[in-house]
Amino acid sequence: MHVLLTGKNIVLSDAVEQDARRKFQRLVRHRPDLERADVELTRQPTRDIQDHYVCQANLIAEGRLVLRGEERAADPLVAIDALVDMLERRLQRQHEKIESRRRPTFQGHLPPTPPEAFGHPSPLEKVLADFDVDAATIAHLEERGIRTMEQLRALVDTDRLAERLGTGWEHQTRDLVEVIEKLRLSS
């Protein structure tokens, strides 16, 4: 990320510039697509000593403004530190917000895993094969969207496995419930 640092009513020393560049590079951890940060450090003669230095920054990613921030302090380095900390928190919050939207859940359950994420034989197939569950039952489970042991356990725990498998699968349902119970006892 390129950091463009300018001073207004102040001459920036090399130490301040290097420190600011190093600190603004931390933001790339939270948003790798950041192209540049336009940072302006201004000295304002005010009555309140705590507001003598104002540090403002615009973060640019993919050619557009992503985030803007401003902090005031009595020392230029403190203003820069406070601004970077604030931008870091906001980028983290932004990331968490995007992540929470990306994984919508219903009643606390994760959405089903896409089929391409599963290799063959799947862990479910291996475990059920060890308990002599026939291939037709395993295939029927996968057709009904039951692809992991966690999904199978959840259906057994809520007594919804028979409903999910449908009519004609009562014997297999009993066998699968027994397998889950045996697995619980062994762990």
- At residue 159 the predicted structure's pLDDT band, cuts being 50, 70 and 90, is confident
Q: Which residues contact 40 (CB under 8 A, 6 or more apart)?
A: 5, 6, 7, 8, 55, 56, 57
pLDDT single digits (tens) 121-151: 777 888 888 888 888 888 888 888 888 888 8
Share of the chain above pLDDT 90, in %: 38
With 0-12 CB in 10 A as exposed, 13-18 as middle and 19+ as buried, what is 108?
exposed
| pLDDT score at 104 | 55
Q: 3-state DSSP call for residue 176?
A: helix
Average pLDDT taken over every residue of the chain: 85
Helices (H) and strands (E) in the chain, counts: 7, 4
Tokens describing residue 69: 């921030």
Share of the chain above pLDDT 70, in %: 88
3-state helix, strand, coil in the chain (%, to 5): 50, 20, 30
CA distances from 108 to 44, 103, 117 (A): 52, 11, 21
pLDDT on residue 180: 86
Q: Does this model's pTM top 0.75?
A: no
Lowest-confidence pick of 81-90, 115-124, 136-145, 168-177: 115-124
What is the topology classification, in CATH, of domain 2-102? Answer: Double Stranded RNA Binding Domain (3.30.160)
